Chain A
């Protein structure tokens, strides 16, 4: 299980000078399952673009993004769904929760989208660790951004995955909660022998990274 990026340059960044000195854009890169990869970059250099492109949400780039040797641009919608249910998990920078569902329902939805691998009781255990147990039955739109961010992280841990892709996942968490969340994510990755790709503005030591790149 591995991602391969061959000379990938997003169309919207193609003319920017930063692309020429990027450790990712225009490079040949391979990330294997089990690798913890940190991508650090200031704002506007394309972190979210990279995340969307790895997750198959954008196709406006040159070069190739391959997963298991398959060009992501060319796979059909049902195969993409299969990858998103069983191989890739994600925490979006903008969280993307269903505002009208409760926090619990947002989490549960991801759990039952495929054959569940997490028991219902585990949701409460993990929510308790993340400090969001009390807000599980609140509508997501009524939760604070920090709470929503933790709901979004918990949601991402409800499915099987080979890679979890995190787009500035701790941006609204305090240091204590960052550590707790990172520990939970790491534990779940180890359970699945999965890799982790995290983008952030600054360098950090939340995880034991094997690869660290500047965008």
Chain B
């Protein structure tokens, strides 16, 4: 009953349209702000998720940019390697060890004759995307396991085999073929059987187990040379613009295609920044308008409020009443903005799923915490504005 009477006395003289407009503005501001946060959250989910086939976590093979000034001097010194390992975008660094011996491979099948000189590299197994328990070697092993870039098989199937009138090979058949691998060293050539155990997209190099590289280098008695010229960098965010600037600073190069995400990232960052900034500005304006709105309402009812207090109404009692009048509407604005975002997130999830990009169907905890924080901020602002003008 008291509320009913207070509602009659402290009527909204400032106009329902103005009130609705300010609340719509508030809703849009909150929506923009939450959207900016949710986009960031989705982006981080994509970076760290293992579910995404199109995961943008990646491996970058890094070496010095070769030009006339550093021919034969492409060594990556230990200080630089340490510096790379220290960078925030670096998850881990693996050294690519090259073979320093002469080697060749040839087919042992007449149906499939070929011969070529070849070189290998090895890399710590953590950096290999082909899981094969047999990717190790010792001198008594039946064969040398080799991982070949997918690109090589494509070149063979779609160029070489056609030009040489050779059969095309599926990955399964390639893995069945046994090759003859010959290493040339101090005591003459030594031959081994070799088998392709996997095809990889990650590192564009013929990979063999590190034990084989060590053995071969030792057998060939090459000058002890542990210089590192290439390394593989694992990063969970190849879109990080800091990678590009770091590589540029140290005159390093990598597969620039893999850094294409940094361009997308810049666009996303710009969109997020604009949405976030617009949201914050709109929120500030909405709060100012809302505060003025409260002031205007209270000013219009000043005589009634004074008489109510004279008759014994406590300022706190009136503040609570006014808070109940104003705050639920604000909460409705925040709630509507959140609901819209939840629906959009769900829609986006379904849309991206078709492109094998998986994002959560629900909005993130950070977004929800922001909703809570904004609700609290609005409660404080509304309460303080009411108290200020009631007691004025």
Residues of A within 8 A of B (CB): 57, 77-78, 81-82, 84-85, 96, 98, 100-101, 105, 108-110, 112-114, 159
Contact = CB atoms under 8 A, between A and B. Distances in A.
B5 A114 contact: no
A166 B345 CA distance: 66
Contacts of A77: 309, 314-315, 391
Given A81-B317, A113-B2, A98 B304 contact: yes
B155 interface: no
B20 interface: no
Interface residues of B, number: 17
15 contacts: A77-B314, A81-B309, A81-B312, A81-B314, A84-B310, A85-B312, A96-B310, A96-B311, A98-B304, A98-B307, A101-B8, A101-B9, A113-B2, A113-B312, A113-B317
Given A98-B9, A98-B304, A101-B9, A109 B310 contact: no
Given A57-B310, A96-B307, A96-B310, A101 B315 contact: no
Most buried by A among B8, B313, B314: B314
Nearest to A109: B5
A57 B317 CA distance: 19
Given A77-B315, A78-B314, A81-B312, A105 B307 contact: no
Most buried by A among B5, B309, B313: B5
A77 B313 CA distance: 10
Nearest to A55: B310
Given A85-B312, A85-B314, 20 more contacts: A77-B315, A77-B391, A81-B309, A81-B312, A81-B313, A81-B314, A81-B316, A84-B310, A84-B311, A96-B307, A98-B307, A100-B8, A100-B9, A101-B8, A101-B9, A105-B8, A109-B2, A109-B5, A112-B1, A113-B311
Q: Is the interface of B mostly helix, strand, loop or mixed?
A: helix
A98 B307 CA distance: 8
Nearest to B390: A77
Interface string B298-338: 00000010010111111111000000000000000000000
B8 A108 contact: no
B279 to A, nearest CB: 38
Contacts of A101: 5, 8-9
A112 B5 contact: yes
Contacts of B9: 98, 100-101
Interface in B1-42: 1-2, 5, 8-9
